[in-house]
Structure 1
Amino acid sequence: MLVSCMQNSSSRWWMHSLVYPVFSVYVSKCSSVSPVQWETAMRAVYRISNMDPCGVVIGSIYINHNLAISVSLVAVFLTLAAVFVKWCYGFWKRKGVPGPEPRLPFGNIKDFILKRKTLGEIWKKIYFDLKAKGHKFGGVYQMFTPALVVVDIELVKRILQVDFQHFWGHGAFINDKDNMSFHLFNLEGPRWKRDRAKLSPAFTSGKMKMMFQLIVSCTDELAKVLDETKFNNPVDIKDIMSRFTTDVIGKLGNILSFTFANLKSPGPT
């Protein structure tokens, strides 16, 4: 970079009034010397030796040049980030799919991220909002990831039956050590395919009808036991539900023939 240096009164005034203070503040940030001490020393050197302050001008211009580059890079980054966000949140709009407006950077799950609501509560509200407006489906965003909420029951059947090969991903968190999340409805890929192949023969339409009647009979007995709470009789709900589950599994598996009378007897201690 070439800078012309002029030894006239106007340039000298410019150097004393503008360049020295700015350069002094910059240098002081890189050392333990205060800006006032730097400015005083520079002015003293200039008065004694009448030296050309061209070097100071070059340093100041160099500093301003680096600052301009930094500001430009930040501006470019922010512009690209804004374009990226707009492009991500325009996915469903480009396809003509209705849905609630996303909020940066949460999408449509802000209350879930902030631990105000569960995902089930959020999807329930969106589902009924779409249904009230007469939409068969709607587009939402989980952070920056688009997702589809299906309202129409016929579309749900088509997704789960005819076109299931295109919708096998459930998008749910899976912990293989947690029985509440590690089940067939959450599994994906080869593990889901293998477990589904094992369970499918046990859930044909004929067997489901037989199982339904057995579950109804067990549930009726459970309702009778729980009715005792109307008379302020305390019950151990964990013990009751454990025996109810055992009774249902035993009857459905044709292994044991439990009667629900066992439900009224206390469990083992």
Structure 2
Amino acid sequence: MAGLLIAVAALLLAVYLYLKRSCRYWRRVANIDGPQPRWVLGNISQQITGRKHFGEIFAEVYRSYPQASWVGVYELFNKPAVLVRDLELVKEILVSSFQHFNKNSFEVDASIDPLASMNPFVNVGDQWKEKRSQIVPVLTATRVRTTFPIIKNVA
């Protein structure tokens, strides 16, 4: 019985130390700014509890670090993620280096939400490449420039 108790205590201590260490990932690896995560829930605790939408949480993080090119954030179980703020870095990721950035954490089942599943930012692998190749021709500089005033008026 004592051995089992010691084993459980050791396991709990190991989990605690792992989660505590993972909360410091961005500081430890590259001294990157970012919000302090909750112990297990990362930076999305308010989404999990239903107090805020995912978009609101990341909009607040985005606004909180105006000088940063990118911000280190944490998903559930303190999985590190990046919020990119710099336009040139976004272009690099979405245009030049897209083959390295085609895996993300937000997967949507097309049978549940067919409209959201069309978004290239929620697809992975070959499906991501296919959706990206469909949307990139629509987002040329000329088309965005001519469409922006219309979207701004409607919004």
TM class by shorter chain equals: 0.7 to 0.9
**What's the counterpart of residue 96 of structure 2?**
162
8 A Cα contact 2:102 2:128, kept in partner: no
**What's the counterpart of residue 73 of structure 2?**
140
Q: Gapped runs of 5+ residues in structure 2?
A: none
Q: TM-score, normalised on structure 1? A: 0.49
Give the 3 Å change call, closer, same or farther, for CA 161–197 of structure 1 in structure 2.
closer
Quote the offset at 1:210 in angstroms. 6.0
After superposition, residues 5-16 of structure 1 pair within 5 angstroms as none
Q: Deviations over 1:83-115 (max 9, x none)?
A: 211232222121121211111111111100000
Tell me, in whole angstroms, the C-alpha distance in 1 between the residues paired with 2:3 and 2:65: 48
Out of 85, 89, 92, which is 2:26 matched to?
92
Out of 1, 4, 7, which is 1:73 matched to?
7
Letter in 1 for 2:6: S
**What's the counterpart of residue 105 of structure 1?**
40
Quote the offset at 1:184 in angstroms. 3.6
Could you tell me the percent identity over the aligned residues?
30
Quote the offset at 1:116 in angstroms. 0.4
Q: Gapped runs of 5+ residues in structure 1?
A: 1-65, 224-269
Considering only CA atoms, is the larger Rg found in Structure 1 or Structure 2? Answer: 1
Quote the offset at 1:123 in angstroms. 0.1
Q: For the aligned residues, what is the CA RMSD?
A: 2.7
Tell me, in whole angstroms, the C-alpha distance in 2 between the residues paired with 1:198 and 1:118: 28
Tell me, in whole angstroms, the C-alpha distance in 1 between the residues paired with 2:53 and 2:74: 15
Q: Deviations over 1:215-263 (max 9, x none)?
A: 589x59x97xxxxxxxxxxxxxxxxxxxxxxxxxxxxxxxxxxxxxxxx
- 2:19 partner SS: helix
Tell me, in whole angstroms, the C-alpha distance in 2 between the residues paired with 1:199 and 1:158: 17
**What's the counterpart of residue 182 of structure 1?**
117
